Structure 1
């Protein structure tokens, strides 16, 4: 079943924010996760040791102030990029070139949008055909377990798919801020792609060309609103997943942690650094697993919620051209490291997720090409 043919959700949509603000003491059963998927309670500090299911380590932090440097500083930067991509798939960037004022204004504009009466937001209600607009679920399977999150999803590029009339008209600054913020994040994504290409020993523009070229690759913005939750130990703001595109740049809430990254055998709660952006490799970098043939890997992540504070974050998704055939870089395929993934278009891959919802990394793992026996 293709999502492009679906014009309505399979069940009535319930806004999570409305549930939260109604003062419910218990979350509806539809939001209760199976015990194996529930977040573990954060342990209290004990001077004699720490709980091994949590890690006080933060994801790597990369300072981009040497991005134009040559010599030792440039080499060290590429080494840091390589380590972060190989070992974590996530890192925070500082001195990234996006102004603090713009990030703060964009985040607050979206906070204002979610503070509007539900009738005003409902004018932008989305459907499964494109997901663009005001939403509260992913996937179209009936009776699925839902996440404790509302969101607004929009297309930013290429310009042929951009439709500002579908962007919020209130607050009045919102559309202008979306346009300016998207422009700055697009430029940052290109700089990051160049660094990642070079860290693999490829030409600086290799990955940009592989994903469709400077004018062709796509970008979307999803603003997530995680309301207060009376039982945060039973649910998640976003279920464990990896992103479908090639790179995601997240503007987190500076006051409320929520993002968790799977690192080896446990979950690490990311502690946002003031004015930093969080970058993660996505599945086409797992097509960096496909394009880099599993040298770098996308990583599962999820979002926890809490009972005391709501949370807002902005995820800027960088995606390949929709009809582009994604396949491993021939420079990275050898007899000892054969191609692990069959070629496919990005639109084919994205359709799977939009139909099934968030399911860990099962979507990319299902594409592994098994070795041929001689």
Structure 2
């Protein structure tokens, strides 16, 4: 069993971007200013929002076979060609989405001293602060984060569950149960799209690990110099993203070597394939690099749920998806070990997945 690790990595004082914003600095602190190659070219990308696929979950739950098969094929295309899709008619009460958004925003609007009662210790991914920071000279994201382990109970740190807002805990519990149902549903249809039994992932995963991270991106006077969140793929099986309905467009995905912005659709949730599904499908469905950018005048709130197998599970490419045309690309490994590897490395595109890759032998 491999619980979420904690390492005493000293990174010094980390500035809080909300407090920075209040101070109205005349320049962006150097710690946030990206190297030229990393800076977002906002004018080029924001002019052409990407048309990522839309999946209507209600069509997958109907008895009409034509409609069902058509939506399964749409899901297959989304997973193969994009690694991202937006899901409509997901079955989660829209009032629930509004409530979790409100409590998340209310938490971030608390005084700094209140939020600092729940600090994210260096080298961990739970609490308030910035994750994936391991050195004094590492560039910081223009973002405040609050992350919590939710399921199974042993990954929770009760001291980090806030007492304010008063309805935070109850709201997060209810929301997380609904998201868990959605993830199980989506994995069932993803399995079918691969020609596998619908329950294959649920049977394989054991008691699935679920964590939530709330991200708050204040406006930034120079959005062309900073990143809201560094480029990365997710270590999960599935990730569910809820974007605040009044937020700026912030999510960008790497599509055909171009950063493409994702335009939020009202009442939809954004789903992306994580590294775990890439390994299990032997690269048929790939996790995709994504990042967040900031806006000069508008803030942005996002609520992200990560859904992954139990830490005790051994993973590797599924036999049904390995053949002569698609030989085995990844080794077998313990998922807890990969989780530990993921959270103890800074976000660097898809580099963390090198952990699982089998080096191809070049014939001479």
Q: TM-score, normalised by structure 1?
A: 0.91
Please state if 1:271 is matched with 2:263.
yes
Report the CA distance shift for 1:12/1:3 in structure 2 as closer, same or farther (over 3 A): farther
Q: Is the 8 A contact 2:120 2:131 kept in 1?
A: no
What does residue 55 of structure 2 align with? 62
- Change in Cα spacing, 1:129 to 1:38, as seen in structure 2 (3 Å) is closer
CA shift at 1:128, angstroms? 3.1
2:208 aligned with 1:217, yes or no? yes
Residue correspondence of structure 1 range 82-97 to structure 2 within 5 A: 82-97=76-91
**Residue of structure 1 in register with 2:148 after alignment:** 154
TM-fit CA distance, 1:339: 0.8
Moved more, 62-71 or 217-226: 62-71
Cα deviation, 1:74-131, whole Å, max 9, x if unaligned, reads: 1111101101001100000010001110001101111011111101000001113532
* Structure 1 residue 321 displacement after superposition: 1.0
Name 1:47's counterpart in structure 2. Answer: none
In the alignment, structure 1 residue 311 sits paired with structure 2 residue 312: no
Report how far residue 179 of structure 1 moved: 0.3
Select the residue among 217, 238, 242 that pairs with 1:247: 238
Distance 1:12 1:57, change over 3 A: closer
Secondary structure at the aligned position of 1:284 is classed as helix
**1:373 to 1:229, Cα distance in 2 relative to 1, 3 A:** closer
How far apart are the structure 1 equivalents of 2:7 and 2:286? 32
Aligned to 1:234: 225
Distance in 1 (alpha carbons) for counterparts of 2:158 and 2:267: 27
For 1:160 and 1:325, the matched residues in 2 are separated by: 19
How many angstroms apart in 2 are the aligned matches of 1:94 and 1:3?
Answer: 32
Match of 1:105 in 2: 99
Aligned pairs (5 A) from 1:317-336: 317-336=306-325
Q: 1:54: Cα distance to partner?
A: 5.8
Give the counterpart of 1:194 among 159, 179, 188: 188
- Could you tell me how far apart the structure 2 residues matched to 1:282 and 1:138 are? 17
In structure 2, C-alpha distance between the alignment counterparts of 1:186 and 1:134, rounded to whole Å: 23
Q: Following the alignment from structure 1 to structure 2, what is the Cα–Cα distance between the partners of residues 54 and 337?
A: 38
Aligned to 2:18: 17
Q: 1:296 aligns with which of 275, 278, 285?
A: 285
Whole-angstrom CA distance in 2 between matches of 1:342 and 1:197: 21
Q: Which secondary structure state, in structure 2, belongs to the residue aligned with residue 20 of structure 1?
A: helix
Measure how far apart 1:142 and its partner are: 3.1
Q: Secondary structure at the match of 2:280?
A: coil
Deviation at residue 41 of structure 1 after TM alignment:
2.5
Equivalence for 1:26 = 27
Flag structure 1 segments of 5+ consecutive residues without an equivalent: 44-50
Q: How far 1:134 moved relative to its partner? A: 0.6
Whether the aligned pair in 2 keeps the contact of 1:148 and 1:238 (CA below 8 Å) is yes
- Do 2:123 and 2:131's aligned partners in 1 also have CA atoms closer than 8 Å? no
CA distance in 1, matches of 2:62, 2:184: 17
Question: For residues 40 and 129 of structure 1, what CA distance do their matches in structure 2 show?
Answer: 31
- In structure 2, what is the Cα distance between the partners aligned to 1:325 and 1:195? 22
Task: Specify which of 71, 84, 94 is matched with residue 77 of structure 1.
Answer: 71
1:370 Cα deviation (Å)? 2.4
CA contact (8 A) 2:241 2:304 kept: yes
Moved more, 76-85 or 361-370: 361-370
Uncovered stretches (5+) of structure 2, i.e. residues with no partner: none
Aligned residues: CA RMSD = 1.9
Q: CA deviation at 1:9?
A: 3.7
Worse-superposed segment, 94-103 or 67-76: 67-76
Tell me the equivalent position of 2:253: 261
Match of 1:4 in 2: 5
Q: Does 1:116 align with 2:114?
A: no
Q: Give the superposition deviation at 1:254.
A: 1.7
1:125-164, aligned counterparts within 5 Å? 125-164=119-158
CA distance in 2, matches of 1:219, 1:3: 12
- Does the 8 Å CA contact 1:132/1:155 hold for their aligned counterparts? yes
> How high is the TM-score relative to the length of structure 2?
0.94
